[in-house]
Amino acid sequence: NAGVTQTPKFRVLKTGQSMTLLCAQDMNHEYMYWYRQDPGMGLRLIHYSVGEGTTAKGEVPDGYNVSRLKKQNFLLGLESAAPSQTSVYFCASSYSTGRGPATVTQYFGPGTRLTVL
């Protein structure tokens, strides 16, 4: 049981390049999330998914796209990377029912460190 895994762990891009970050979970969770973490800003939600085939915007969705073609995978895409997207990206997952922290634990992956030059 690997929990939540993220690929790659590190990446350096040039401005304008594209890339896809992969998140995989083996806990059969319905909900999956993508966050970015920047110094002094805390974790901010980019997009999330409430089930296979669904996606929704979070707090900072601009410049990112996501897809959830399989329940266990949640992909985050950057079509044209910008220096402002330099950050650490975390994926997370949780059980369904729409309940929050009172009854449902959210599990985070180890993060992907992305630098855009």
Partner 1 sequence: QKEVEQDPGPLSVPEGAIVSLNCTYSNSAFQYFMWYRQYSRKGPELLMYTYSSGNKEDGRFTAQVDKSSKYISLFIRDSQPSDSATYLCAMSAIETSYDKVIFGPGTSLSVIP
Examine residue 117 and tell whether it contacts partner 1 (CB under 8 A). Answer: no
Binding mask 16-55 for partner 1 (x = CB under 8 A): ---------------x-x-----xxxxxxx--x-------
Size of interface with partner 1, in residues (CB under 8 A): 29
Examine residue 94 and tell whether it contacts partner 1 (CB under 8 A). Answer: yes
User: Which residues, at least 6 apart from 102, have a Cβ–Cβ distance to it below 8 Å?
Assistant: none
* Cβ 21 to partner 1 shortest distance, Å: 14
Q: Is 23 or 81 the residue whose CB approaches partner 1 more closely?
A: 23
- Name the pairing type of β-strands 65-67 and 73-78: antiparallel
Cα–Cα distances in angstroms (integers) from residue 7 to residues 13, 22, 40, 107, 114, in the given order: 15, 5, 25, 16, 11
Rounded Cα–Cα distance for residues 104 and 102 (Å): 6
Rounded Cα–Cα distance for residues 43 and 65 (Å): 18
| Residues of the shown chain interacting with partner 1 in the complex, contacts defined by CB under 8 A | 4, 31, 33, 39-45, 48, 56, 58, 90, 92, 94, 98-102, 104-111
